[in-house]
Chains A and B, each alone.
Chain A
Amino acid sequence: MTEPLSRRNFVKGVGAALAAGAAAPVLAACGSGSSGATATSGGKTTITFASAKFFAKSTIGQMVQLYNSSSKHVEVQYIELPTPSQSTQVHQQLVQSLSARDGSLDVFTGDIIWISEFAGAGWSAPLDSYFNASAKAAYFPGVIDACTYGGALHALPWYLDAGMLYYRKDLLQAAGIAVPTTWDELVTGAQKLLAAGKVSDGFNWQAKQAEVLVCDLVEFIGSNGGSVLAEDGKTVTIADPKAVEAVQFMADTFGKDKVTPRAVLSWDEEPSRMPFTGGQAAFLRNWSYVWSDAQDPTSSKVVDKVGVTTLPSFPGGKSTACLGGYQFGMNAASTKKSAAIDFLTWMSSPATQLRFATQLGLAPSRPSVYDQSALKAANPFMVSLRDVFTGGTPRPKTPKYSQVSLAIQAGVSAALATGNVQSNLSQVQSQIEQILG
Chain B
Amino acid sequence: MNGGVRRLSFLIMIVAIVVWSLFPFLWQVITSFEPDADLAGSAPKWLPFPGGTLQHYRNVFVAKDFGPYIVNSVIVDVTATVVALVFAALAAYSIARLSLPGKGAVLGLVLVVSMFPQISIVTPLYQIMQRLHLLDTYQGLSGVYIGLTLPLMVYILWGHFRAIPVEIDEAAKIDGAGPLRSLWSVIIPVALPGVVPAVLLGFIASWNELMLALSFTTSPAHQTVPVGIANFTGLYNIPWGDMAAASVVVTVPLVVLVLIFQRRIVEGVTAGAVKA
Measured CB to CB, the residues of A under 8 A from B are 22-29, 32, 53-56, 79-86, 89, 92-93, 96, 269-270, 273-275, 277-278, 280, 287, 289, 293, 298-301
B26-40 interface bits toward A, Cβ cutoff 8 Å, 1 = contact, 0 = none: 000000000111011
Residue among B36, B40, B136 with the most chain A CB within 10 A? B40
**Alpha-carbon distance A347/B214, docked complex (angstroms):** 27
A275 CB, min distance to chain B CBs, angstroms = 7
Contact A275 B42 (CB under 8 A): yes
Residue of B nearest to A269 (CB): B236
In the complex, the answer to whether A82 meets B42 with C-beta atoms within 8 Å is no
Tell whether A26 pairs with B234 under 8 Å between CB atoms, given A299-B39, A300-B40, A301-B40.
Answer: no
Q: Is residue B215 within 8 Å, beta carbon to beta carbon, of the partner chain? A: yes
Residues of A within 8 A of B238 (CB): 270
Complex partner residue of B36 from A23, A55, A81, A298, CB under 8 angstroms: A298
In the assembled complex, which residues on chain A have CB atoms less than 8 Å from the CB atom of B235?
A: 54, 83-85, 289
Digit string of B235-268 for contact with A (CB within 8 Å is 1, else 0)? 1111000000000000000000000000000000
Q: Is the CB of A29 within 8 A of B133?
A: yes
> Quick one: which of B39, B126, B135, B236 has the most chain A CB within 10 A?
B236
16 contacts between A and B (CB under 8 A): A22-B221, A26-B219, A28-B130, A32-B133, A54-B235, A55-B234, A82-B231, A84-B234, A85-B230, A85-B235, A86-B230, A96-B123, A278-B40, A278-B42, A298-B35, A299-B37
Contacts of B215-233 to chain A: CB distance below 8 A: 215, 218-221, 227, 230-231, 233
B199-220, CB < 8 A from A = 214-215, 218-220
Least Cβ–Cβ distance between A372 and chain B, in angstroms: 24
Residues of B within 8 A of A (CB): 35-37, 39-42, 123, 126, 130, 133, 135-136, 214-215, 218-221, 227, 230-231, 233-238
On whether the beta carbons of A93 and B215 are closer than 8 Å, the reply is yes
Determine if B136 and A29 form an interchain contact, defined as CB atoms under 8 angstroms apart. yes
Taking the closest CB of chain A, its distance from the CB of B165, in whole angstroms, is: 50
B200 → A minimal CB distance (Å): 29
With A86-B230, A278-B42 given, is the CB distance from A92 to B215 under 8 Å?
yes
How long is the Cα–Cα vector from A301 to B42 in the complex, in angstroms?
10
* Whole-angstrom distance between the Cβ of A57 and the nearest chain B Cβ: 12
Are A53 and B231 also in contact (CB < 8 A) when A27-B218, A29-B133 are?
A: yes
Are A83 and B234 interface neighbours, CB within 8 A?
yes
User: In the complex, what residues of B have CB within 8 A of residue A23's CB?
Assistant: 219-221
Nearest-Cβ distance from residue B125 to partner chain A, whole angstroms: 12
Q: A277-B40, A278-B40 are in contact. Are A270 and B236 (CB under 8 A)?
A: yes
CB-CB under 8 A from A54, the residues of chain B are: 234-235
Known: A22-B220, A23-B219, A23-B221. A28 touches B236 (CB 8 A): no
- Chain A residue nearest to B235 in the complex (CB): A84
Residues of A within 8 A of B126 (CB): 96
- Contact across chains for B37 and A298 when beta carbons are under 8 A apart: yes
Q: How far is the CB of B249 from chain A (nearest CB, A)?
A: 20
- Complex A-B, nearest 7 residue pairs according to Cβ-Cβ distance, in ascending order: A23-B221, A28-B130, A85-B233, A299-B40, A23-B219, A26-B136, A269-B236
- Alpha-carbon separation in the docked complex, A273 to B236 (Å): 10
B236 touches A26 (CB 8 A): no
**Separation of A280 and B36 alpha carbons in the complex (Å):** 18
> In whole angstroms, how far apart are the Cα atoms of A135 and B219 in the complex?
36
Given A96-B123, A278-B40, residue A80 in contact with residue B236 (CB < 8 A): no
Check if A24 sits within 8 Å of B219, measured CB to CB. Answer: yes
Q: Which residues in B have their C-beta under 8 angstroms from that of A53?
A: 231, 234
Known: A25-B136, A26-B130, A270-B236. 19 other contacts (CB 8 A): A22-B219, A22-B221, A24-B218, A26-B136, A26-B218, A28-B135, A56-B234, A82-B231, A83-B233, A83-B234, A85-B230, A85-B233, A85-B235, A86-B231, A93-B215, A269-B236, A289-B237, A298-B37, A299-B40
Chain A residues within 8 Å of B214, by CB: 82, 86, 89
A270 B237 Cβ-Cβ under 8 A: yes
CA distance A29 to B217 in the complex (A): 12
- Chain A residue at minimal CB-CB distance from B216: A26
B37: A residues at CB distance < 8 A: 298-299
Nearest B residue to A93 by beta-carbon distance?
Answer: B215
How far does the alpha carbon of A29 sit from the alpha carbon of B133 in the complex, in Å? 6
Most buried by A among B135, B227, B233, B235: B235
Cα distance A28–B127 in the bound complex, in angstroms: 10
Please report the C-alpha to C-alpha distance between residue A86 and residue B232 in the assembled complex, in whole angstroms: 11
A39 CB → nearest B CB, Å: 18
Contacts of A274 in B (CB 8 A): 40
Distance (Å) between the CB of A13 and the closest chain B CB?
17
Determine the residue in chain B with the shortest Cβ distance to A97.
B130
Complex Cα gap A289–B238 (Å)? 12
Which residues of chain B are near A79, meaning CB under 8 Å? 218
Docked pose: A23 CA to B220 CA in angstroms? 6
- Chain A residues with Cβ below 8 Å from B227 are 82
Most buried by B among A53, A85, A274: A85
Q: Is the CB of A85 within 8 A of B236?
A: yes
Contact A80-B234, Cβ < 8 Å, known A275-B42, A299-B36? no
Interface pair A80/B219, CB less than 8 Å apart: yes
Known A26-B136, A82-B231; contact A293-B219, beta-carbon cutoff 8 A: no
The chain B residue sitting closest to A286, CB to CB, is B236
B237 close to A83 (CB less than 8 A): no
With A55-B234, A83-B230, A299-B40 as given contacts, are A26 and B135 in contact (CB-CB < 8 Å)? yes
CA distance A79 to B230 in the complex (A): 18
Give the most central of A56, A81, A82: most B CB within 10 Å. Answer: A82
The complex places the Cα of A79 from the Cα of B37 at a distance, in Å, of: 35
CA of A18 to CA of B48, assembled, Å = 42
Interchain CB contact under 8 A, A82 and B219: no
Whole-angstrom CA separation of A92 from B211 in the bound complex: 11
Chain B residues near A29 (CB-CB < 8 A): 133, 135-136
| Distance of A198 Cα from B20 Cα, bound (Å) | 37
Interchain nearest-CB distance for B107 vs A (Å): 34
Shortest beta-carbon distance from B48 to chain A in Å: 16
Residues of the B chain whose Cβ atoms lie less than 8 Å from the Cβ of A278: 40-42
Q: Which residues of B contact A56 (CB under 8 A)?
A: 234
Closest to B41 in A: A278
